[in-house]
Amino acid sequence: MSMVFIKSFSAPPIDRTEILRYMGAGKSTDIHEINEALETCLDECEKIDAFTYNVCYCERDVSVSNCYVKTEDLEINSLDLASNLKDCSKIIMFAATVGIKIDRLIEKYSSIGYASKALIFQSIGAERIESLCDVFCKYIKNQYSQAPYNSNIRPRFSPGYGDFSIYFQNDIFRILDCHRKIGLSLCNSMMMTPSKSVTAIIGISKNK
Amino acid sequence: MNILEYLKSKTLYLDGGMGTLLQAEGLKPGEYPELWNISHPDVIQRIHRNYFDAGSNVVCTNTFGANTLKFTENELDEIICAAVKNARIASESSHSPQEKYVALDIGPSGKLLKPYGDFEFEEAVTLFSKVVKVGIKYGVDLLMIETFSDSYETKAALLAAKENSTLPVFVSNAYGEDGKLMTGASPEVMSAMLEGMGADAVGANCSVGPDKLEDVVKRLIECSSVPIIIKPNAGLPTSDGKTTTYGIQPEEFSDIMKKFVSSGVRIVGGCCGTTPKYISALYNCTADIVPVPITQKNFTVTASYTKTVKFGNSPILIGERINPTGKKRFKQALVENDMSYILKEGISQQEKGVQILDVNVGIPEINEKEMLISAVTQLQSVCDLPLQIDTSSAEAMEAALRRYNGKAMINSVNGKEESMNTIFPLVKKYGGVIVALTLDEKGIPETAEGRIKIAEKILSRAKEFGIQKKDIVFDTLAMTVSADAKAPEATLSAMKYIKNNIGCHTSLGVSNISFGLPSRDDINSTFFIMALESGLSAAIMNPYSYKMMSAYYSYRALKCQDENCSQYVEFISSLADDNSAGSSPVQSGINPLSSWKADFSSDLQKAIAFGMCEEAGKLTAELLSSMPPLDIVNNEVIPALDAVGQGYEKKAVYLPQLLMSAEAAKSSFEQIKLFALKNRTDFTPKCDFVIATVHGDIHDIGKNIVKLLLENYGFLVHDLGKDVPPEKVVNEVIRIHAPVAGLSALMTTTVPSMEKTIALLKESAPWCKIVVGGAVMTQEYADKIGADVYARDAMDTVRYAQKIFEEIKNK
């Protein structure tokens, strides 16, 4: 089954505590000024319908040895990934993005010196993409916990984690055809645009 | 028969999917389908032939991803040669009787263009030019630019097509379920931009099934004057764990497509997941439909990359503030290349309610062409209003139009032969709505009749260049009433005639009327209303003027253009908000820094420390009447910033608060700068500081925070932006002999380009100290790549810069 699938999700609930953490505002939700600024920014996001929640993904059979991960179209030499995928027989490879509008908001405020707003939008974007990944992983978990799979899923693992080289972004983009499927592009520096995007691999195994 | 001739009376059938069929034939995931033109010509020919047999008039060559990002130039030549040959063989071997054409298929590069990606616009044009040239060489009948999800890249491809061939060009974009391209363009935007540049057909393909395209189809039909292409997917693929199928079957597909054809779509086919069966079904159920004629739409429309502004009954406001004429502070920003000042001017005019921004950055001290390109591209990265490019330099005009994303307003052409001969070809090539001034070699006619005559001449010359009447907006020139009492009458009656009898829209720089008079706003706003009554479509005006804005909202309320007067009411209540903002005393409310105790000796210090921008600006302006600027900086701004900085270091103040405080300090500085300019007070910055995000790195929020803090501490920051090549950093450091430069990198992958920049600086500008920072940077890295110092945050950089400054001062 080599097909790449596309899935759109509705907006996951907003986790304000996470946003504050990304902002470097600790866990303190009691600072009026910061909360007010955060709410203003969230309103602005809502007003322009700032986010889309799109994922493209494919499933592959995988063979894993102690530092080597192999599918029909990909070979990865990474101890960390291999140990994350230990005992897995399949993987889900995915790319997720919340779209480019948030990049525009960050750029807008950052370029005219409204750094606090830029920081807040940056943090909102980070929380949004992580929440999208969580929702997607939950969706995969549901799918694969049922027959015929009856399997468990591993935590998502992205290029750049541990010794899983960031340059595998090239392969993921080639295999998932991310640009065509969800409008995601890769820069020469391996950064993705839109910036609030994630690529990762999820292991699927019969064991925990 | 030429395909455009054929289209005049018939529905044109395109082919269906290629990739899905190749996978069924054994194409491996991730393998390049384009290589199959050479390795499996029989398969490709068979697929093409099956499409012709199913009724396709056009097959697209199997060259979707054929470009020099993936292949060498030799490979590209071989691939396209084989691809065209395969399509031709299929065309000849199919016995189906219809007219057959071969289209060179041009897909997107897969990269996102700057400013949000790392691909230069001109690089993209070159990339597509190479594809087009090879396609022409091997003899295709038309060019098919398809599946582009970014308006800017689409422009690059169409420009490449137009600059390298005379073949018909079809352009089709990938719209999402929201009816927009990934980068935000609506069907109206794409239609305006692409038709303006001379696309022969426009439309939508890929991404979704026909069921999700109904709205896009409807809107394209309403706004386009060229044939419309619809080439959807067979829905989305789904899997039951064993087999994968596309959601929409041939019958359902063709049923929906039939509706599209009946409503006016003229070019139809399928994309991912569709097969010859789909095309055959499509052909069978639509062949009998009499094609709907294509009608000319006479709307005057300008567009940014996401929105259009349509000229009509409701007046359009064009913000005039991005213009150095008579503005010292703006000139200073241009000379200092202070782009953020210019961007802010754009954003705040948008907030005031203008629909278009006029952009004029011409002063003798700078390279206008370079500045105009920067201003236009950077404004387009932060503001989604259409721009009116305003320059008297044809060279700058062309450069800006080329890089503009959308369909620009062009300011201006006039009745002089030289002007028309220079400007019209640019309008023809790049598209745009042009402002035409009713003056010529003999100057500005005093009478309305004289101006009307010029307007008629301009129209007929424009027609010779192939420019349509709808793309010309006339400015009958407001002249100073204090010099000639009859001037307004001439302007207005010429305008009235042009609007009513010639049928063109009009625009006017309103404020000229009051030159030399006191309280100019009173005259301007009254004249504005008179002009609106005489048929003015758009005014170039100052949106900060209460009287002008109040005239605008009142007029619309009185002219049945504002339902329930709600926008008028909103405008009036926004004034009340403005008045109350900033008036709240510093001490009121909860102390935002409640977790942190510090003593401040003045209200200004408090305002800055607590991040109250307006208050800080206001207090600074007041203080400037009794205290020298430098004392305010040293005794008020810096102590407040220092205290907040210390609070931050003690973790009593959080990062957002530190930034809010920095913003308040900035608004204080803005007042000081204005004061210094006005009173010619010497206010020299501490020293120059060059700052850049290194090559390959496209995020600069961190760098911008550092810049903000440095400016607040009195450094003159030369911001080179993001993704900056090493040479550019070195050149700027040498040009101003900067004693210190700051470099930022976000990813490990861009550290090598930071290293290269440092090496080049050490070699060519050994006096310059280098401070590095960014998400990925560590002391260890910094040492390894030869930086002078590693700064872990913005305050750290400020401290280092101050140290350098002290050393220079003590020398």
The per-residue pLDDT for range A58-86, each reduced to its tens digit, is 999 999 998 999 999 899 999 999 999 99
In sequence order, what are the residues at sequence separation of 6 or more whose Cβ sits closer than 8 angstroms to the Cβ of residue B446? B484, B486, B490
Secondary structure of residue B741 in the 3-state scheme:
strand
Q: Does B147 touch chain A (CB under 8 A)?
A: yes
Rounded to a whole number, what is the distance in Å from the CA of A141 to chain B's nearest CA?
14
Q: List where CATH 3.20.20.20 sits in chain B.
A: 301-577
pLDDT at B29 over 50: yes
Instruction: Kindly determine whether residue A188 and residue B206, on different chains, have CB atoms separated by under 8 Å.
Output: no
CA distance B262 to B255: 11
Say whether A111 and B657 touch across the interface (CB within 8 A): no
CATH H superfamily, domain B603-678: Methionine synthase domain (1.10.1240.10)
In B, which residues are within 8 Å of A161 by CB distance? none
DSSP-derived secondary structure letter, B469: G
The two tokens of residue A90 are: 């399949």
* Domains, chain A: 5-205 (3.40.109.40)
Question: Is A104 in contact with B108 (Cβ distance < 8 A)?
Answer: no
CA angle B450, B456, B457 (to 5 degrees): 90
What pLDDT band is residue B201 in, cutting at 50, 70 and 90? Answer: very high
Whether the pLDDT of residue B27 is over 70: the answer is yes
Give the whole-angstrom CA distance, residue B476 versus residue B455.
Answer: 9
What is the mean predicted confidence (pLDDT) over B482-504?
96
* Residue B488 pLDDT greater than 70, yes or no: yes
Span(s) in chain B for CATH 1.10.1240.10: 603-678
pLDDT for residue A32 is more than 90 = no
Between CA B501 and CA B523 the distance in angstroms is 28
Least CB–CB distance from A191: residue in B384, B590, B747: B747
What pLDDT was estimated at residue B684?
77
Q: Please list the residues that pair with B216 across neighbouring strands.
A: none
Report the CATH number of the B301-577 domain.
Answer: 3.20.20.20
Nearest to A32 among B378, B590, B750 (CB): B590
Cβ contact (<8 Å) for A23 and B746? no
A74: nearest Cα among A193, A187, A168 = A168
How far is B233 from B146, CA to CA, in rounded Å? 13
Tokens of B82: 């084989």
Helix, strand, or coil here: B678?
Answer: helix
Q: Across the interface, do A5 and B237 touch by the CB < 8 Å criterion?
A: yes
Task: Locate the DSSP E strands across B347-493.
Answer: 356-359, 387-390, 409-414, 433-437, 472-475
Q: Is the pLDDT of residue B585 over 60?
A: no
Q: Does B756 touch chain A (CB under 8 A)?
A: no
- From A67's Cα to the closest Cα of chain B, the distance in A is 23
* Out of B29, B184, B383, closest to residue A73 by CB: B29
Amino acid letter, residue A94: F
Q: Would the pLDDT of B582 be above 60?
A: no
Read off the pLDDT band of B581 (50, 70, 90). very low
Q: Are strands A54-61 and A88-97 parallel, antiparallel or unpaired?
A: antiparallel
CA angle B678, B681, B682 (to 5 degrees): 135
CA distance B777 to B755: 12
Q: Do B343 and A112 touch (CB under 8 A)?
A: yes
* CA angle at B324 for the pair B718 and B121, rounded to the nearest 5°: 60
CATH architecture for residues B3-286: Alpha-Beta Barrel (3.20)
Question: Mean pLDDT of all residues in chain B?
Answer: 93
Contact call for B659 and A179, based on CB within 8 A? no
**Is A33 in contact with B115 (Cβ distance < 8 A)?**
no
Contact A110 B698 (CB under 8 A): no
* DSSP 8-state secondary structure symbol assigned to residue B564: G
Rg (CA), chain B: 30
pLDDT value at residue B588: 33
Q: Does B18 touch chain A (CB under 8 A)?
A: no
Q: CA-to-CA distance for B225 and B195, rounded, in angstroms?
A: 8
Question: Is B699 within 8 Å of A191 when comparing Cβ atoms?
Answer: yes
**Please, where in chain B does CATH 3.40.50.280 lie?**
688-810
Interface of B with A in 587-616 (CB under 8 A): 589-590, 592-595, 610-611
Mean pLDDT of the region B653-675: 91
Of the candidates A2, A101, A108, the beta carbon closest to that of B382 is on A108
CA–CA min distance B325, chain A (Å): 22
Buried b or exposed e, range B154-169, using 16+ CB within 10 angstroms: bbbbbbbbbebbebbb
Q: How far is B385 from chain A (nearest CA, A)?
A: 13
Chain A hits for B594, CB-CB cut-off 8 Å, are: 30-31
Rg over alpha carbons for chain A, rounded to the nearest Å, is 18
CB-CB neighbors (< 8 A) of B750 in chain A: 189
Residue A25, token pair as written in the block: 């505002």
Of the listed ranges A20-29, A182-191, B137-146, B370-379, the one predicted with least confidence: A20-29
pLDDT value at position A24?
A: 87
Residue B595 pLDDT > 90 = no
Q: Which CATH superfamily is domain B688-810 in?
A: Cobalamin-binding domain (3.40.50.280)
- Report the share of chain B in percent with pLDDT over 90: 85
Contacts of A119 in chain B (CB under 8 A): 655-656, 659, 701, 705
The answer to whether B337 faces chain A, any CB pair under 8 Å, is no
